[in-house]
Structure 1
Amino acid sequence: MYAPLFVAIGGFFGAMARYLISRWAARRSPRFPIGTLIVNLLGSFLLGWLAGSGAADTEKLLVGTGFMGAFTTFSTFNWESVQMMQQRQWAKVVVYLAATYLCGVWLAWFGYRVGR
């Protein structure tokens, strides 16, 4: 009954957190999308932790679906990768892809283990 409300509240806070982290990171690293990398890696860890923690369904809706759904961003990650490819910044795109996928999967696994 309250599921959409939990998702909406979590989504609001996830979107705000992502915006603030992205703005902060852009000022420190204007040539590399470190903000997207930070939110996606942190989100991988936190979602893994949530899955391993035995959280209640309402917590999964609020934090997992709502907060993490708005906090992490696959579309921005893909768009930034395409932009680097178009600019022929091959080293950057390889680092970005490898860091996101390899570290993201590892952090999700690690978060799951920590949550258990």
Structure 2
Amino acid sequence: MGEVRPVWRVSRWDGQTGRVRTDRRTELLAVSAGGAVGALVRYAAFAVWPTRSGGFPWATFAVNVTGCLLIGLSMALVTPRLWRVFLGPGLLGGFTTFSTYAEEVRALLDWARPGTAVAYLAATVLAALAAVAAGGWLARRARR
């Protein structure tokens, strides 16, 4: 039948690789802590830069594009797994908000602002993809 391994193991030093091996519990805590911090930073950005009803949602646009740039940078530069899960799906996953982006597109359509909705829809996707690519490019240049 084989050895039964626990799903949740404690982090430990691996003498063969010379690295600390993290368990799923540690990674879950890292993602959770990062997500909480990222969501608080996003909340602060929205509090400082509110969007007018029917206006272009600049705060969400800036948050998502900045977050994508940082994702491109961090995923190319950060190598320890625990830091990668803290930064990527944790902090930057909590910071970026594509659900708010989709809701704002819907709201712009409800406010009879289809031109603004389409511009926001396209500009966010294009700028976010360009930001991830730019972040990866900048990270590769920084590593040289």
TM-score strictly above 0.5: yes
Gaps of 5+ in 1: none
Percent of matched pairs sharing the same residue: 31
Contact 1:23 1:35 (8 Å CA) reproduced: no
Aligned counterpart, 2:102? 78
1:67 CA displacement: 0.4
**Which residue in the other structure is 2:67 paired with?**
43
Which residues of 2 match residues 1-116 of structure 1 at below 5 A?
1=23, 2-26=26-50, 29-30=51-52, 31-116=55-140
Over 3 Å counting, the alpha-carbon distance change for 1:9 and 1:41 in structure 2 is same
> Which residue number in structure 1 is paired with residue 15 of structure 2?
none
Aligned residue pairs total 114
State the structure with more CA Rg. Answer: 2
TM-score (norm: length of structure 2): 0.74
Specify the alignment match of 2:20 in structure 1.
Answer: none
Contact 2:78 2:84 in 1 (8 A): no
CA distance in 2: counterparts of 1:25 and 1:72, whole angstroms: 15
Instruction: Rate the CA distance shift 1:14–1:54 in 2: closer, same or farther, 3 A.
Output: closer
Deviation at 1:54, TM superposition (A): 4.5
TM-score by length of 1: 0.91
SS in 2 for 1:32: coil
Structure ranking higher on relative contact order (CA contacts 8 Å, 6+ apart)? 1
Counterpart of 1:89 in structure 2: which amino acid? Answer: R
2-structure distance, mates of 1:33, 1:107: 18
Deviation string for 1:5-61 (max 9, x for gaps)?
1111111110110000011110xx423321111110001101111122243211111
Please identify which structure carries the higher strand content: 2
Amino acid at match of 2:83: E
Any stretches of 5+ residues in structure 2 without a counterpart? Answer: 1-22
Q: Which structure has more helix as a fraction of its residues?
A: 1
Please provide the CA RMSD for this pair.
1.2
- Amino acid in the other structure paired with 2:91: F
Partner SS, residue 55 of structure 1: coil
